[in-house]
Each structure stands twice: as structure tokens, then as C-alpha cells.
Chains A and B, each alone.
Chain A
Amino acid sequence: MKINLALAQINTRLGDVQANLEKHLALIDQARRDGADLLVFPELSLTGYALQDLAAAVALRAEPENPVFDRLLHASRDLDLVVGFVDEDRRHRFYIASAYLSGGKVCHVHHKVYLPTYGLFDEGRFFAWGEAVRAFDTRFGRVGLLICEDFWHASPPYLLWLDGAELLIFTSSSPGRGLSEEPQLESARWVEHINRAYASLFTAFVAHANRVGYEDGLHFWGGSTLFDPNGALLARGPFDEEAVTMCEVDLSQLHHTRTRLPLLRDERTALVRRELERISQSQVVNERGAV
């Protein structure tokens, strides 16, 4: 099966959901005309990133009763969508979230499970921690969603791989940092390296949509990428410019790569589980100072 996968690296208006929604709908229309099957927006694409005390004011629920999602769901009838937003649960906890919409329905909502709260980041102050990493079925196969810091840790992509994900969709609002003589910032190069590594290690497609623009002094660098199960770069968006980067993806590459390289078949999950349990136990012991 071949699909047209599109990565929308947009700029956003900080805290202005309505303006960001209109931009989403315009790009969705354009992508539909261009023949896209799946359009991926970055982390917090409906709200902007450095929300701080705006988090509660811009929070949504991914359900048809919500007027923002009503329009997005309507737009998803013939084009699958990934959008970024602040999700408010029934107990009024706020999550950084991504929703996969298809055929007018919400297929899956992922809550960011790693909230960076160090250096320039302060997400843990404003948001609740997600509690699940789950792959889900779509009309294009099994998919896993992760948000930025989630894939700076190796375990969430690993779990999605074991859970059957063939297409890993990563979204970011990644502030660029780390100057040197290199033509791209350290953070941009790091993200691209690990995405290529995940594609190679997990013999899966890895799509990454990263936003562009500025918020105060933070600069978001774009450079969205798509890697195939061999770790080959299929497409890369421009740096520092808004763009929709579309690429035809031949999903049969999974068959070819995984026949050649049966890493998933040979993955020893029972061994991993045993060792994780042992390590967890010994960490408990260590923390009690008994070693």
C-alpha cells in the first residue's frame, strides 16, 4: 500500500486557538487537494508552546461536542489528521496531547509521558504526566504517537514497537539550542540522529513534525523528517520556514526490511521483562541504602 504522508511544520499564535484552528483547516484543505492521506501537525499546534498560565484557558476535549474538534473531525472524513492540543480530562488535569483523527472519529489520544522540567523547560509545573504508551490501528496499519521529550527517552518508542507500531509519528515544538560551526543547531542534529536510529533499530517508518517560528526568545527550527524502515531519509522539510512536506510512502517496505532483518521477530521481551524486574527491585534496594 502506498500513502501520501504530509508533515505540516507551522508557526502558531500563542494561546489563540481560533486563529490556529483556521490555519489548520486551510492547510488541511490544501493537503486534501494535493492528495495527502495523512497530515501531521506539530506538538501543541492548536495552542502554541510556551503556554505557562494559559494552559487551562486553551484546554480542549477531543470529542465532537467540542466546537474546535467538531470542525477538525469533520475535516478528517477523507484525510487522517494528527493535531496537537492541551487535553483537559474529566478530573481537570491538563495534558500535552496529540490526537489521531480519521473518518470523522477520534482514533487515539496520546498524553505526553515525559514532561521536561529542567534547563529552559518547565512543563511539569503546568501539565500532568501521561500514563500510557499504546499503539493503535488505523486504515494505514498500526501507528504510535509520541510527543517531543517522549522520544528523547528510548523506552516509549521501544514499547510502541513491541506493541506493533509500523509507523511512529513524533511531534515537537523543539526550541533550538547549541551553537557551533555546524550548519544546524546541536538539538536539531540530535533529534534527526535519533529519529534515524529509531527507524533503523525498530525497522519502522518514523515521521517527525516540528514547528517553526519564535516565542519570546525561543526559536523553533522545523526540519521535519520522514525515515523509512532501513533508516533512509525519505523527506525533510526546510529549516526555519513554514512548509507542508509531502512524501509518498510505500508501506510494503516494512515487508522487505523485516524479511531481511527480523529484529522484531527475535526481540526477547520475556528476557527484557525479567531483567527490568530485577533492575527495578535492585534499584529499590539501592535507594534504601542496603547495598
Chain B
Amino acid sequence: MEPAKIDLTINTDLVRTILTGFVRSEITRVGFERAVIGLSGGLDSALSCFLAAEALGPENVLAVRMPYRTSAQDSLEHAQMVIDALGVRSLTVPISEMADPLFERFPDISSMRRGNVMARLRMIVLYDQSEAFKGLVVGTSNKTEMLLGYTTLFGDSACALNPLGDLYKTQVRQLARAVGVPEAIIAKPPSADLWVGQTDEGELGFTYAEVDRLLYLLIDERYQPQECVAVGFEVAFVEAVVERVRRFHFKRVMPPIAKLSNRTIGYDFLYSRDWGT
């Protein structure tokens, strides 16, 4: 029923070359040599760390582990596997002591709020280390979670450059395997690990394998939603995904500036980020 052309297979050698070149170029052209990465123990940050280490040399990469009291022990151990495999520099900065006073002030705080606070505290730690280590923060968000808005604004989405942002989760997994990310990390269920037992796929209500195929048709192949239904995707699934992509678009763009003058940042003051480099 589904068209044969949904093929998310990538040439991992080619992508590896392009992405390590990208990390090297975007960091060195602005006068830096180093990168800072928050290492969660999950797949995306592990892969970003592997790419950064290859691009810059392991001595120029600082991997930061930032556990909260409830973080899974697995997460810490898996992050350590990455650090040991690559020989990158590392640091562990627990965020419990920072988060708990805020949580205590709001006893009925929801899981969502707690998760967002943790993600933003980790951002603070990473950007502080960015200055201390003189390295740029390398992001770890992939195309799937960016499109679905499955990310905390100014939290895990905050970074100086984002090597994985045009790879679906399915493709992240392929590339991770090719560059040697430990199999235990590749095989476990993806989780933001913001509360005990949380999994991405449980929270989203569908699997990455399913949604990546649908997103590929909607985004890359520019299918209309009804065309996706016609090739076999369930109506409710298509509608839910289309609505998520629309509803969370605000997380993917800069905040709008009210235009007043003849030349306004973002509308008619247009320069590449790499201006002059």
C-alpha cells in the first residue's frame, strides 16, 4: 500500500564526511577550536560527540554529564561509555541542587514543567562551560524531534550549531552504528529521561520508525496529508503529526520582531551567520 520510495537509508560515509567538515568549519571559522556537548547517555548526544571528536580531536571536546536525582543510572553509564570510547574530556555537573529549590517552591509542579526546568538548567551549565572551556555548544536535536516539537525551547534546543538537524531519527541510528556508537546506546528505547520510565515513543504515541516514514513524505516529498492517507497511513495518525508540525513551528524560528522601520532585523536586514568568515 505504501509507496516503495520511502527509503531512509543513507550513505553513512558521505554523511560522516559532510558533518565532520561542518562541525570543523563552523567552529574554527569563528576562531574556536573546541566544542562542548551535553552527554545524556542517549543516541543523539552520543553521535554528536563522536562527530565532534572526529572533527576536532577528542582533546578539544568537553562532554558534560548533568544528571538529576531521578535520572536513570543507565544514562550515566552509557554517557561514560562514550567518554571512554572517544577519550574526550569530561565533567559531571549534577543539576539536582539547582533544580530542587525551584521545585520545592511549587509543590504541585507538573512533570512537564520539571522536565523543562531540567532541560534549561542543562543549557545554563553548557553555556557556562562554553565560556570556561572556550568551546561552542554542539546541539544534538534531530529532524524528527525538531519537526514534532519534541524539544524544550531554550533548553536542549539551544546550541551554536546543529549537525544532526537534517537527519531523521532512523537515519541517526544508521549513522551512529557506522561511526561506532556503542550498541547498548543504539539498541535502548529513546528517552528524554526527564522522569522515571519516560520514553519518547510512549509519550509521543507512535514509533520513530512509523513517524519518520510519514514525515519523509510530508516534508521531503511534499505530499499533501490526504496523499499520505491514500498510500496507507491512518487518518488520525496523519492528522496528529501534521498538527504537531504546525503547532510547534514557533520552536523552529526566531521570535517575530514587530516591523516599524525601513530596515528590520530578519525581514530586510539579511546576512548569513557566517558573514565575514
Contacts and interface: CB of A to CB of B under 8 A. Distances in A.
A50 interface: yes
A154 interface: no
Contact of A179 (B10, B268, B271): B10
Given A53-B270, A180-B9, A184-B14, A214 B275 contact: no
A50 B274 contact: yes
Contacts of A50: 272, 274
B25 interface: yes
Interface string B64-75: 000000000000
B55 to A, nearest CB: 12
B5 to A, nearest CB: 10
Interface residues of B, number: 26
User: Which of A14, A54, A182, A183 is most buried by chain B, counting CB atoms within 10 A of its CB?
Assistant: A14
B188 interface: no
B208 interface: no
A240 interface: yes
Given A181-B10, A181-B11, A240 B18 contact: yes
A63 interface: no
Nearest to A51: B272
Contact of B271 (A16, A53, A176, A180): A53
A181 B9 contact: yes
A185 B17 CA distance: 12
B204 interface: no
Given A176-B18, A219-B18, A219-B21, A183 B272 contact: no
Nearest to B9: A181
Contacts of B270: 52-53
Q: Which of A15, A179, A182 has the most CB of B within 10 A?
A: A179
B59 to A, nearest CB: 23
Interface in B13-65: 13-15, 17-18, 21-22, 25-26
A14 B18 contact: no
A253 B171 CA distance: 46
Contact of A180 (B10, B18, B22): B10
Nearest to B15: A179
A13 interface: yes
Contacts of B18: 176, 219, 240
A289 interface: no
Given A213-B25, A219-B22, A240-B21, A183 B275 contact: no
B276 A15 contact: yes
Interface in A177-200: 179-185
Contacts of B10: 179-181
Contacts of A52: 270-272
Contact of B25 (A176, A182, A185, A214): A214
B26 to A, nearest CB: 7
A183 B13 contact: yes
Given A54-B271, A216-B274, 4 more contacts: A13-B276, A179-B11, A214-B274, A219-B22
Across the A-B interface, the 4 shortest Cβ-Cβ residue pairs: A52-B270, A214-B25, A50-B272, A181-B9
20 contacts: A13-B276, A13-B277, A14-B276, A51-B272, A52-B270, A53-B268, A53-B269, A179-B14, A179-B171, A180-B7, A180-B9, A181-B7, A181-B11, A183-B14, A184-B14, A185-B14, A213-B25, A214-B274, A217-B22, A219-B21
